[in-house]
Structure 1
Amino acid sequence: MCMRLFLIVLFGCSSIFAACSPSYSLYGQPKYKEGFKHFAYVNPNAPKKGSLSQHSVGSFDSFNQFIPFGIPASGLTLLYDTLMVTSEDEPDSLYGLVAQCVELADDKKSISFTLNPNARFNDGAVINASDVVWTFNQLNTKGDPRYKLYFRDVDQVKVKDDHQVTFYLKRPFNRDLVFFIGTLPVFSKSFWQSHDFSKSGLVEPIGSGPYLIKDYKLNGFIRYERVKNYWAENHPTRKGMFNFDELKWVYFKDDTVAFEGFKSHLYDLRIEHRSKLWVTGYNGPALTSGEIIKEEINNREPQGMQGFVFNLRRPMFKDRAVRKAIAMAFDFHWVNDQLLYSQYQRATSFFNNSDLSSTPIIPSKEAVIYKELQNPLPSQFFDEPMYVVDPENEAQMRAQLLEASAILDQAGWKIKDGIRVNKRTGERLAFDILIIQPSFERIILPYQEHLKRLGVEVRVRKVSPSDYIHRLRNFDYDMTTYVFDTHFTPGNELYDYWSSTSAKISGSSNIAGLENKSVDEMVKLAIQSKSREELQDRIRALDRYLMWEQIVVPQWYLDVYRVAYWNHFKRPRVSPAYDLGLMTWWHTS
């Protein structure tokens, strides 16, 4: 057993505890003490039986979600256990699973894991340190390019013995690197040595997780079955979870057909993303009789930015003034009231619904951050506070469009015969918006009309899910709708979203193509934060500047889960604070 010490990370001190600890917290101490029996949000006595089915839109052609090729099937994360796992009722902690404990070196230049001797792959083979090393090497050399970005500070990974592995770093670690390495899945080296990890396809991998693939039909469904004698079934981080004998995802060509499938009970549970359906579509005998349950469950997770994203790789969008004017033509207030049934709140931050969102006025501590940047920010940023304006009526919208037109004029885009053209080149200001859901066209239509009044031509390009993924990976779009997911403690994913390096990596999440040295600095500062308070200040500073840069046209967010399900499920009395927690539910019939 590991020593009965909590891992206390004190970056302000000369060293940290180098004891092998069963848990890790980015800030402070973990909620659950060593020896805990189960998480507070589960029912440890939940019956294990029955099935749960959900839906997906499109198709799949791969069982390998770790490479930048193919379209992975839904649910594949169920195949793998990770070195450590998060809890769903605290934002910053990890608990050992495949690794029974983690040890951080006094000099902060290595991270060691001692593996759980009971950890097994689903073919019965023991998980050992060489599997961890092999996993790292495959992800770093053949995986999605984002892994190389995340692993850039890892120098090498070495096996100490069958149950101990150490990650050696190029420089003293930041907190988030420990978190990222700790949540790595572990692959079977013996299995993948006879298969090509770099290729997508329908090779069914050997994992160590609670489920394995039972059967599938391309363009139809994928079904998983619970592993008999799952090695971690009674592990404290797994007790009361994964209670369904089978999990299934049914595939539909689009969400409209999928909704009809739900009403016909072709699948059990639906998380509703369309406000019109939520307000008007759930009716009929099954709902009134109680066969279908419809409920809104509080969502306390931070909500990232959903918006129309400018591709700054396109020359017409490199000018912030042009982006600002185009953003001003979007009338959220009207769209929310007339099309979205007043269900949403306007997104005003990349960290909505959290204490990380910025305010228009710059507090003194954040002003210091800006002042100390080696790459100074534009003076205009300090003179023009960023805030999202929502006209409340047609008169206000007309005034805002007049202002937007003046901004375009000043930026060198003039009206000629009703068309907005570049005064110097004669190029027309026109662009495509890439979407995959037909239902989104009605959202774009009023935006399209407002931009037309500015002389700007907007074309909607609806593509299949597979084409959308391909075009996103290759940055082949002018503008698209995207969600920049976030969580309570942003870390290495900030590099993926915003670094100048990631803008050049195909398949990265730098959808906007932002290359900005000041942002690079602020991202680095945020990841190197030594306290929760310091993280808050640095993220807010970053958020404010990203908002000011007008990289996106902000849309909206929702602070509840809209869930509908056929009435043969129950969930624990206590819900997890930061997740819907479907894997804690159970079947009742």
Structure 2
Amino acid sequence: MAPLDVPTVHGLAIYGEPAHPAGFTHFPYVNPDAPIGGRMTRAAIGSFDSTNPFILKGNSVAGLNYFGGLIYDTLLTQSADEPFTEYGLLASGIRLAEDRSAIEFDIDPRARFHDGEPVTAEDVVFTYRLLMKDGLPFFKSYYHDVTRVSLIDTDTVRFDMAPDAARELPLIIGQLPVLPEHYWKTRDFTRATLELPLGSGPYRMASLDAGRQVRYERVADYWGKDLPVNKGRHNIQTLVYDYYRDQSVSLEAFKAGSIDLHVESSAKNWATAYDTPALRDGRLKKLEVPDSNPAGMQGFVLNERRARFQDPRVREALALVFDFDWVNRNLFYGAYQQTHSYFENSDMAANSLPEGRELALLEPFKDQLPAAVFRDPLPIDEPTELRPRLRKALNLLRDAGYRVADGQLVNHETGKPLTLEVLNYDTQFERVIQPWIRNLARIGIQARIRTVDVNQYINRRRSFDFDVVVGSYPQSNSPGSEQREYWTSDYADVAGSRNLIGLKSPVIDALTDALIQAQTREDLLSATRALDRVLRWGFHVVPQWHLAATRIALWDKFGYPQPFPEYLLSLDSWWIVPGAEADDESDD
């Protein structure tokens, strides 16, 4: 097979051209002269029993993820200062067909795994087929529209794509972590393992203490350390993740100096827990790093595989009972905004009645959608006062066939009470769930919290063995193939998928396809708004809150370039200030 007869390029942007031209020396948000060395210790919660992040079995170790994490290089790597642009990493050259039907990657002949073996196009083909056959459901969704992968030669691999594939698919293929065929062909990829894996990236896994700690070391002879995309990155010599039972314990460990950096998810802790002498004298710092990405949706996810959650009136009632204003005022010090959209904090959210292209997408399904989708403003909880919302919720439940008997809400026909259990693993989050449960009790719904250990939580969530969980649906500025796994019928019954709701809707399937197949930004906006509108009028989750920033508490030993890049938190561009760790030790 001959290579594509198109120019070879150094990077790809979802729209237009990459901001950084061929021959650029480093990303503008890094310090190319950053010092090398030192140690960063962070907290991980729960436990782990596997070093394979690509399969369902086991709870994978911190520092690894679907895209390889610290130890596996990918074909391309994303720029943190552009909405969605990728540049060559393992791939020294990229050729994309003019009609976007195929893409080819030239593997850099210098690329090496940590054992010195070359990374080849055969490894790319092996990895793709392995992940599609035995990997997480995520991969089948993500690479759904790849029709074929083939070798051009030992250094070049080609991916063919379906005619209606997402515009972002070439970049998604670029996110493929490349695994060593010579390592995995003698091992069972489908089994959880604690063997130290073989990678090709800037770090190697140096040691682990099962369930307690994992340590990564910078690879001194890393093949890609002088690439423009890596200059000024991966500066810290040793990265350690210590495991703790829950967030409250890890916070105390941070304040005691056992952890160097703590990403804070609790508004209460952020407001009150760090008021220490170390903060006042500057040895401890608090940063809020702005985030320009869509906030996505976080909420109580209702498992619609349960019969009692299949009526949208019941689901709407449960959402009405959640009193965000009270929670934000009394628990969060007013730090958050309430989330309404699945594409919150972006121009992809539906914020008015449908019109134009969006309306054209919705009209074929008019008979299958609530009339309010076309007639009424979006379902933002009004009024804000709780008592009228409780009254409205109770009326909805009565319309759905429930009545109050002896203080309990029961089904009029069967007499069975309406109950629910919120599955949880973080004791810190119980204080957020409890107010919702108290309000549910006010209209006769029996609800309780079930807090379990992390491993049990993961297993129950993967098998959809829950009534309600707290779930999140992160979004980028260019949503695409991952939406299949969130919303579509094909993934409703696939164990471990992210269709936690159990959605099986031909309308949502069609709108998801329209989103994925959008070829212009205008088409993408119309599709996201149509999908957003239908999801919101389905009341599939009880929306919670969002913050357009990442809160980081850290000891004063780090250097980092400023301003921070706009689209990704780039901790890999940080460094340890020379002498700072010695100063910390002398204070002890």
> Does TM-score exceed 0.5, indicating one fold?
yes
Match for residue 11 of structure 1?
none
Match for residue 174 of structure 2?
182
Q: Does 1:54 align with 2:42?
A: yes
Q: Which amino acid aligns with 1:55?
A: A
Match for residue 582 of structure 2?
none
Q: Which amino acid aligns with 2:133?
A: T
Distance 2:467 2:479 in 1: 27
Q: 2:133 aligns with which of 127, 130, 141?
A: 141
Match for residue 231 of structure 1?
223
Match for residue 206 of structure 1?
198
Match for residue 507 of structure 1?
496
Shift of residue 228, structure 1, vs aligned partner: 0.9
My pick for the range that moved more, 148-157 or 280-289, is 148-157
State the percentage of identical aligned residues.
39
Shift of residue 137, structure 1, vs aligned partner: 1.0
**3-state SS of 1:420 partner:** strand
Q: 1:108 to 1:374 in 2, by over 3 A?
A: farther
Q: 1:382 aligns with which of 361, 364, 374?
A: 374
Q: Is the 8 A contact 1:156 1:167 kept in 2?
A: yes
Shift of residue 296, structure 1, vs aligned partner: 1.7
Q: 1:477 to 1:573 in 2, by over 3 A?
A: same
Shift of residue 268, structure 1, vs aligned partner: 0.1
Distance 2:72 2:134 in 1: 18
Shift of residue 534, structure 1, vs aligned partner: 1.5
Shift of residue 317, structure 1, vs aligned partner: 0.4
Q: Does 1:399 align with 2:391?
A: no
Q: 2:96 aligns with which of 92, 104, 108?
A: 104
Q: 1:384 to 1:457 in 2, by over 3 A?
A: farther
| 1:75-131 deviation line (CA, Å, top 9, x unaligned) | 121010100111001112111110112222345432211111111111111111110
Aligned alpha-carbon RMSD (Å): 1.7
Distance 1:453 1:482 in 2: 25
Q: 1:402 to 1:375 in 2, by over 3 A?
A: closer
Q: 2:421 aligns with which of 425, 432, 446?
A: 432
Q: Does 1:44 align with 2:32?
A: yes
Q: 1:374 to 1:31 in 2, by over 3 A?
A: farther
Q: Is the 8 A contact 1:107 1:172 kept in 2?
A: no
Q: Is the 8 A contact 2:313 2:397 kept in 1?
A: yes
Q: Does 1:559 align with 2:559?
A: no
Q: Which amino acid aligns with 2:130?
A: Q
Match for residue 84 of structure 2?
92
Match for residue 24 of structure 1?
12
| 1:455-478 deviation line (CA, Å, top 9, x unaligned) | 111111111111111111101100
Q: Does 1:465 align with 2:454?
A: yes
TM-score, length of structure 1 as denominator length: 0.94
Report matched runs for 1:188-587 at 5 Å: 188-373=180-365, 376-389=368-381, 391-392=383-384, 396-587=385-576
| 1:153-182 deviation line (CA, Å, top 9, x unaligned) | 333321121101112345453322212211
Q: Which amino acid aligns with 2:125?
A: V
Q: Is the 8 A contact 2:357 2:523 kept in 1?
A: no
Match for residue 6 of structure 1?
none
Q: 1:363 to 1:283 in 2, by over 3 A?
A: same
Distance 2:276 2:147 in 1: 60
Q: Is the 8 A contact 2:284 2:556 kept in 1?
A: yes
Q: Which amino acid aligns with 2:323?
A: D
Q: Is the 8 A contact 1:219 1:252 kept in 2?
A: no
Shift of residue 445, structure 1, vs aligned partner: 1.6
| 1:272-311 deviation line (CA, Å, top 9, x unaligned) | 0011111111022211121111122222221110100110
| 1:5-27 deviation line (CA, Å, top 9, x unaligned) | xxxxxxxxxxx983222111111
Shift of residue 573, structure 1, vs aligned partner: 2.4
Matched residues, number = 572
Q: Is the 8 A contact 2:289 2:564 kept in 1?
A: no
| 1:517-559 deviation line (CA, Å, top 9, x unaligned) | 1111111011111111211121111111111110110000011
Distance 1:296 1:265 in 2: 20
Distance 1:445 1:37 in 2: 53
Shift of residue 367, structure 1, vs aligned partner: 1.3
Q: Is the 8 A contact 1:333 1:390 kept in 2?
A: no
Q: Is the 8 A contact 1:331 1:391 kept in 2?
A: no
Q: Which amino acid aligns with 2:37?
A: K
Distance 1:390 1:83 in 2: 48
Distance 1:374 1:185 in 2: 42
Q: Is the 8 A contact 1:375 1:517 kept in 2?
A: no
Distance 1:465 1:202 in 2: 18
Q: Is the 8 A contact 1:108 1:172 kept in 2?
A: no
Q: Which runs of 5+ in 2 are unaligned?
A: 580-588
Distance 1:203 1:362 in 2: 53
Q: Which amino acid aligns with 2:113?
A: F
Distance 2:212 2:143 in 1: 36
Distance 1:374 1:421 in 2: 33
Q: Which amino acid aligns with 2:186?
A: S
Q: 1:164 aligns with which of 156, 162, 165?
A: 156
Distance 2:153 2:283 in 1: 55
Distance 1:514 1:152 in 2: 19
Q: Which amino acid aligns with 2:18?
A: P
Distance 1:263 1:211 in 2: 27
Distance 1:535 1:168 in 2: 23
Distance 2:165 2:543 in 1: 34
| 1:545-581 deviation line (CA, Å, top 9, x unaligned) | 1111101100000112111101011101231111221
**3-state SS of 1:175 partner:** coil
**3-state SS of 2:489 partner:** coil
Distance 2:51 2:569 in 1: 25
Match for residue 7 of structure 1?
none
Distance 2:562 2:144 in 1: 43
**3-state SS of 1:79 partner:** coil
| 1:372-406 deviation line (CA, Å, top 9, x unaligned) | 459843334323432322654xxx31111111111
Q: Is the 8 A contact 2:512 2:531 kept in 1?
A: yes
